Structure formats: structure tokens, C-alpha cells
Structure 1
Amino acid sequence: MLKEYLEKTYGYNEPIFLTDLTAKTANANALRQSVKRMVKSGTLLRFDTGIYYLPKASRLLNKSYLDPLKVIVRKYIQNNTETFGYFTGATFANQLGVTTQMPAILEIATNKEATKGRLITIGNQKVRLKRPALEITSENAPLLQFLEAFSQIDKYAELSGNEVQTILRHYIKKQKFSRSQLLCVVPALTGTTAKKLIEGGLIYDFTP
């Protein structure tokens, strides 16, 4: 029965967190025993402490594989119902297209971290976690991510100032950021960042 539930809820080669499963059952001990039996039979594989997945071999690799990035995103950025983190630093600068740099260490701001900065390893991927300036929600995550990137843009940009401005303006319009949204994240907005938004004219790309 547990296998059918996991197949329906998660699918194959997707991270399954034991804490999520125990939160949905009244008998955590029985659940752990079921998980233990599935692992012993090979029906369920253990990725790391408290993290499992249903294996399904790919045609290319001829073996099952759980992408560490899926675990990272699920654990520190978002699940099926909420967003509680985002990529930042060189990671997001690369996603924006202002740098071709591919960082060896992923940087993430997340509600799941209480320190100013901590380095961890998940699978073979190093990740630097830090607490956000403002609690992250599904509603404010995209804007907080953008503002943090904007505040550090000179540190990562490999393009000319005009090219960077064009990319940033396009992103603001694509995300349909509004000034009312901006007002909601003012506590996370430094004076320097606010000044750059105004002096660079980007503030006018936010919808009224």
C-alpha cells in the first residue's frame, strides 16, 4: 500500500522526505518499519538521511538516479504548496543571463536557514545557505530574488551597463512586478538598492 501511495504522490526518481510522510500518519513507527522493509527489498532507495526515492532505471544510464538539484529545491526552495527560498548570487545572475559563470557552489536564501551563511553538501553538490532579509513567501519570492540580484549586479555582470539594464528591464516586465509589490518588501530594500532603482530609471518599469 505504501508503494502505491508513493508512486501516486511522488513518482519515480523524485525526493521523498521521511518527515513529510510521518507528518501524514498517526503511526510513525509503523511507517518507518514499512520504509525499512522497502529499502531492504530495493523497492525504495536511500539518498541521504531521511531522504528516499523510488528507483527507475533510465534507458541512457541503465540505472536509477536521483538528481541532487531536485533534493535541494524540494528541501530549501519550494514544495508542491509553498515557496520558502530562492537561488541567489552567481547562480541567479547566470539564470538572468548577465554572466556565463557557472558557480561550483549554489547559493540559496531560504526560510529553512537561521544563520547568515553556512556551507553544506547534498549528494555531490555544494550549497551555501543563508537566511533571507525578509520571510520568503510564494508571493514575494520572485521580487526578493530579483532585488537581491540587482543589489549585487556589478559583482557578477560580464556585459556592458546598457546590456545589463536591458536584461533587468525585460525581466521586470516579464515578471509583471508592481510598485505595490515593491512596497510590501520595503523592509528588505536597502537605501543603496532603492537609490539605484530610482537613478537607473528601473522604478518606472514596475507597473503603477
Structure 2
Amino acid sequence: MDFQKYLECNFKYEEPIFAEELKQKLNANPNTIRQYLKKATDSGVIVRYALKNGIYYKPNPNALFRSSLNLYDVIKKKYLFDQNTNRIGYITGLSFANELRLTTQNALAYEIVTNRETMRSRKVLYGKNTVFLKKPRFRVNNANYKLLQVFDLVSNFELYCDVTMEESMEKILDYLKDVKISKGRIKKMLIFLSRERSVIYLQE
């Protein structure tokens, strides 16, 4: 098998390449994959990701500065989407509150809820960067991830947000504008959550 050709045809520059992913796609044993990866690394076709074993990427020869791999891209591919680009997870906590501009606090770590996690909560290190993984209460999919994301935020609103629920409502509703539930129903759910801090059942 021409492994280097396979890498060239199936992965973009600076896209995370997981050893485990290659083992599944090529239906090869771990020793064979390790040999392929070592040869490709030695020849400079791919580069080892410095922050975590088992992750590689193709360096961009046209990069203005030294080609590298972004941690968010690793998280996105490993925890947020499956191989068919279906949603399997979402970012929560301070990072999400920052995205909605509901806080001025800076997140010191990523908090991720993902179908790929089986434990209630677990810490994973990528070099000096911390990623907290959480098992979802309900299985995450394309249709429900935004609602789950918002409900997690509202359930811990005082912990993450610097503004009141009333001040944040417009931004939250704007984030949910493409969700196929009426604004009125969403608003009622958010108000209920903010008062009761309880979990609402979501139909998948």
C-alpha cells in the first residue's frame, strides 16, 4: 500500500490525523500503522503533534510561518464531529459564554460534552492545556446540540455569565434562531430553567 499517497489524498494540510482513525479506516493492526506513521514522519510527509501522542498532521509547505496544528482543530475532529461530519458534541462552560458575549472571563480550559465520553467527567491534558470531557445527559446530534448547549449554560448561569438572564435572552435566542422550535417555547423553557435549575427532557 502506498501510505504516503493515501495521506496526500485523504487529509488536508494541518488537519489532525489520528493513529486510531487510520487503524479503523485501513483495517490494519496497530503495529502496521505504527510502521507506516514512522516512515511517513521520517520522510517529512507528516509531523507528530507535540502536545499528544498518536496525533499527526501534514505540514503546509506554503505557510508563512512554521506550519502547526491548532488545538481547537484537534478537539473539533476528536470530540465534536464524527467521520461523517455529524455533530456528536459541543463546547460548554466559559468558552461558550464567551462566544455569546455573556462574560468577560477568560476560559482557562475547554469543557466539552461529547458522545465519545463514557465517564461523568474526566480531565485530559494536551501539553499544558486542559480539556474537561463530560458524558452527555442526552445523546448529542445535529438537531439538539444547540439546545443542550444553551440549557447547560442556563443551568450554571451565575457561574459563567456576568449579565442578568433578561440581558442575555436576546443573544441566546439569536443563537437558537435556526433551531426548529418557536421563540416563544424556547423562552418559556429558558425562564423555567433559570428559575428551577432542573433538567428538561429533549426528544432526539
TM range (shorter): 0.7 to 0.9
Q: Which residue of 1 aligns with 2:46?
A: 44
Q: Secondary structure at the match of 2:25?
A: coil
- Does residue 115 (structure 1) correspond to residue 152 (structure 2)? The answer is no
Q: Secondary structure at the match of 1:133?
A: coil
Q: Paired residue for 1:33, among 32, 35, 39?
A: 35
How far did residue 32 of structure 1 move?
3.4
How far did residue 100 of structure 1 move?
2.1
How far did residue 121 of structure 1 move?
1.3
Q: Which residue of 2 aligns with 1:127?
A: 131
Q: Which residue of 2 aligns with 1:65?
A: 68
Residue correspondence of structure 1 range 91-106 to structure 2 within 5 A: 91-106=95-110
Residue correspondence of structure 1 range 138-149 to structure 2 within 5 A: 138-149=142-153
How far did residue 144 of structure 1 move?
1.1
Contact 1:13/1:64, CA 8 A, preserved across alignment: yes
The change in CA–CA distance for 1:77 and 1:89 in structure 2 (over 3 A counts) is: same
Amino acid at match of 1:135: R
**In structure 2, how many angstroms separate the alpha carbons of the residues matched to 1:22 and 1:93?**
37
* Identity of matched residues, %: 33
* Runs of 4+, deviation exceeding 4 Å: none
Let me know the Cα RMSD of the aligned residues. Answer: 2.6
The change in CA–CA distance for 1:132 and 1:147 in structure 2 (over 3 A counts) is: same
Q: Which residue of 1 aligns with 2:192?
A: 195
Q: Which residue of 2 aligns with 1:167?
A: 171
Report the TM-score, using the length of structure 1 for normalisation: 0.78
**In structure 2, how many angstroms separate the alpha carbons of the residues matched to 1:122 and 1:6?**
24
Q: Secondary structure at the match of 2:105?
A: coil
| 1:84-141 superposed Cα distances (whole Å, 9 cap, x missing partner) | 1110111111111211222011111112222222221124421111111111122222
Looking at secondary structure, tell me which structure has more helix per residue. Answer: 1
| 1:115-174 superposed Cα distances (whole Å, 9 cap, x missing partner) | 2222211244211111111111222222211211122223222124432122222223x2
Q: Which residue of 1 aligns with 2:81?
A: 78
The change in CA–CA distance for 1:139 and 1:121 in structure 2 (over 3 A counts) is: same
The change in CA–CA distance for 1:151 and 1:177 in structure 2 (over 3 A counts) is: farther
**In structure 2, how many angstroms separate the alpha carbons of the residues matched to 1:166 and 1:151?**
17
- Which ranges of structure 1 fall in alignment gaps of 5 or more residues? 183-191, 200-208
How far did residue 39 of structure 1 move?
1.1
How far did residue 193 of structure 1 move?
6.3
The change in CA–CA distance for 1:5 and 1:162 in structure 2 (over 3 A counts) is: same
The change in CA–CA distance for 1:24 and 1:163 in structure 2 (over 3 A counts) is: same
Contact 1:68/1:124, CA 8 A, preserved across alignment: no
